[in-house]
Structure 1
Amino acid sequence: MSAALLEVRGLAVDFAVRGARGRQVTHAVRDVSLTVAEGSVFGLVGESGSGKSTLARAALGLIRPTSGGSVLDGIDVGAARGGTLRALRRSAAMVFQNPVAALNPRRTAAASIAEPLQLHGLPRPEIERRVAGLLDQVGLGSGHGGRLPHELSGGQCQRVGIARALATRPRLLVLDEPTSALDVSVQAQILNLLLELKREHGLTYLLISHDLDVVRHMSDTVGVMYRGRLVEHGPAREVLGEPAHPYTRTLLDAIPGQGRERLLAAGPPEPAADAPAAVGAGCAFLPRCPVARTDPREACATAAPVLRPAAGRDVACHMAAEPSPITKRSSA
């Protein structure tokens, strides 16, 4: 088994927000622990607002966690300072959801790729050599280096974003919805490019997505988040093939042709500040849970479930270890 490149330990992130009821606290991430093995792809899935991107940013030290922390490449992210912090910044990079918005509209493709190298003080000849090589690696010729973002297609902009992320030779890439803003015809090209780069450079990916087909295609391990909590975690084939948590099953049922009407009938997630789990009482998924609706347990309403081993993975569900319709996906 590969060593851990990224370890997240009891990480929590709270945001203070002002609303109609005055100042409230939104629990964006709640006590999440996970491990990303070196050389693997860890897929983090969940609906919009489930805390996926916030977790990734806090794990990399881009935002300060309320509690808990992370270790990246053997470095305590929260304690990193000076040269250690600079080394940490070289160890990880992000590829963002909107490839056009992620690039400076006034910088050419080559200038955008060169920027992180300039920040780390590399000499100009070395920067020019690396930029040319990176453009080639992501499938763009040298002629694209002089173009501005509006002169490139969405797929080409994402290739520039990937090249920029690779500029400092990181070991970990956080892919935050890397294909969701692209045309369907381009998505497969970008995913195949990412897999090719992973093999070539021995990269590790933390893939954030709500597209389960993308996650299934790319990932070795999957973590499922709901309202800031990790509710299921394990090998991708098991989690996505035989979900043990009703929320994971709901996500799978939302794939076109596999019962999307069930998710729509269940309704959207409630605001975090208003739900029982915001004060630590009951399961956050209870109002939408199809299993508890027909076979409720007292614990579902009174105690927040914690991750525990069940069905070959870790699941935060009071009924995960019991025989139920959620432990095996039907062919319907």
Structure 2
Amino acid sequence: MYKPYDRSQLQNVINLIVGCNNSESYQVGFVGDGYEEVRETLLYDFSDLPLEESIYTYEEDDVFTCFAFDISTRDKYVEVWGPFLDKHIGLDKVYNLWVYAMEHLHPLKLNYNFFIGAHNQLAINFLEDYVKADRIRQHDNLEFKISNRSFSNIRLPNNVQVIKVETLSQNYYTALVNLHHRYFPGTYYSIDDILERINRENNLYLLIKNHQLAGYAYLEKSTTDKHVSLEYIAIDGAFQGQGLSKLLFASIVKETEQDEFSHIQLCVDENNQRALNLYESLGFFLASSYIHYKL
């Protein structure tokens, strides 16, 4: 039976997502692979629409699958959680579920984005052969172990500050907007979005040199599984080549280490060799790869 989500299905949805994302062959990117992490996201940080309008399910006997749509109504942007597939369900039934969901969501005129594990061949076949989604690029998911002590002795020079933002000074707002747009055009969060999201877990850092904005970083912490997602980090071109990215990252590592987080993760385009070289020099390693599709 195809139907919208109801609250009685929460555990089935979480178990499906966690089960798939703990197997390389069925992974869907940026969703999470721990029960509490997925549950917290779905209940408290998922979609502008209620879950009953954001998740669509198929259930028959012992077979269960779903699509979950993390919807930004303002930007018309959707990150699709799915397809969640295994050997027990055929692609035809999953496609019928997709069509069913689109009948409900089509009036919103949304832009759909999928992030599929590079080894998830079933989902790749589904998106390319059934949905006819456009393959955009491959992203590498990198990780840094916070137990790495390589930054413990780094100190900031007198003319450099790293500021953890609570309320952004107007002096830096325009420069930050321009820097963010220059390095991440068309991205999922604008600076205004980031400023609205700042709280105990979501932190914005400014790197100031000689009273000028030289760079910034924005991260989101998961207290359930003790990891940090580094969503954005950039150094203004006028300040590059001065070791400032290392100073900024060292400040982040020291704070997250104090809060007993285990690792920092980030995503980068596999063709961005300059960024990959930078992150490798900071101590990141390749954890997984995801393919971005768009519809």
Q: Which category describes the TM-score, using the shorter chain as reference length?
A: under 0.3
TM-score, scaled relative to structure 1: 0.24
TM-score, scaled relative to structure 2: 0.26
Higher strand share: 2
